[in-house]
Amino acid sequence: MSSNDHLMHNYGRLPVRFVRGEGAWLWDDRDRRYLDALSGIAVCGLGHAHPAVSEAICDQARTLVHTSNLYEIPLQEALAEALCSRTGLDRAFFCNSGAEANEAAIKLARLHARGRGIAKPQILVMENSFHGRTLATLTATGNLKVQAGFEPLVEGFTRVPYNDLDAVRRAASEVEGVVAVLVEPVQGEGGIQVPASDYLAGLRALCDEHGWLLMLDEIQTGIGRTGQWFAFQHAGILPDVLTLAKGLGNGFPIGACLARGAAAELFQPGHHGTTFGGNPLGCRTALAVLETMEREQLPARAERLGRQLLAGFRTRLENTAGVIDIRGHGLLLAIALDRPCGDLVKRALERGLLINVTAQSVIRLLPPLIFTDEQGDELIETVCALVTDFLQEA
């Protein structure tokens, strides 16, 4: 019996055990070093064991870890203020994960529908989206592979193509009871799909025209990764509802659902809650993350380094047969191939590099925002060599 025999088989794990990390580096149990260009899937924007975050966790753990949401929590109030001041939204609800944050958004849409007298509300969601793995969020997710085996799914979602405003206009006239649009500003799991620059503004206008809530899932794009604190800030609009997680705690599990205007007043006592969400330890950690990001100007760093990496990959790979697109936004980067390339993840691991492949044929790169220029050069060199060797074998 191996040490894995008592774990459920819901993960396909690679044969490596990491035991410590520092910055953009991880070390396994044989003391081999790896460059982390995945950041725990966009979680560790500050890298591993950042001193400011570690100190905040240790100090708060020595002081007070948890109190119930039955009581006032000053650190939760401080974190809500910090997020509202950076987003322009009004109120925050804290939870433990991105899926929980999106569940809260979906419930806000249902309450919005009730206020409009709509008995069977519909939320417009996008093809190839990813919103989580709870029953409601996997229903909202536009990936049949994620949904398979869990039917019957939750009612109330209508799917339209991503980056297609005409499809949303058609839904407005053809689908009864639409109350909200739930969308990622950049689709991450769907292959780092970057929409047209006027897409979010177009959705904002359609939501205003029809009285819908615009709900943005920034669980992967938020907390500086695209070059602004939040991806919607590139578009010059405000959402009604915003969901966050991943980079908010730099590895500590915390999520948030923010809202503004009438949407911020929908939840009343008894409508929604969580046991652990927004406890003092989580909120102190997230505050340390935000303060560090601001002090070190990391959103701007993500934008600059993202441009450098894109340029480097394009210079090396743009005319390579089998490479069909190189795209990204900030430090959400993708190299799309014309064939399945999941094997590259293991090959990269063997060369001491952590990457990811999504949508079967898209190399997804999510390096921490503290990546140095030298680490960026190493990433370009290693990935380009891997891709070139892989394509030449076929």
Looking at the DSSP bridge assignments, the partners of residue 26 are 21, 34
- By the 10 Å C-beta count (0-12 exposed, 13-18 middle, 19+ buried), 194 is classed as middle
Q: Which helix (H) or strand (E) covers residue 57, if one does?
A: helix 51-63
Q: For the sheet containing 25-28, what is the strand order?
A: 18-22, 25-28, 33-36, 353-354
Instruction: Note whether 84 and 256 are within 8 A (CB).
Output: no
List the one residue out of 116, 137, 138, 91 whose CA is nearest residue 241.
Answer: 91
Residue 66 parent element (H or E) = none
- Annotation says 217 is catalytic: yes
Burial of 17-56, coded b for 16+ CB within 10 Å and e otherwise, reads eeeebebbbbebeeeeebbbbbbbebbbbbbbebebbeeb
Active site residue 390: no
Q: What is d(CA 201, CA 263) in angstroms, rounded to the nearest whole number?
A: 19
Place of tokens 């899926």: 99
Query: Given 217, 232, 252, 267, which residue is catalytic?
Result: 217
Catalytic residue among 36, 93, 94, 130: 130
Residues 25 and 48 sit within 8 Å (Cβ to Cβ) = yes
Count other C-beta atoms under 10 Å from residue 318's C-beta: 10
What is the rounded distance in angstroms from the CA atom of residue 229 to the CA atom of residue 293?
9
Q: Would residue 120 show up in a list of annotated catalytic residues for this protein?
A: no
Token pair for residue 157?
């979602």
Dihedral sign (CA 14, 331, 185, 257): positive
Catalytic residue among 246, 252, 267, 371: 246
Joined tokens for residue 144: 């049949």
Active site residues: 130, 217, 246
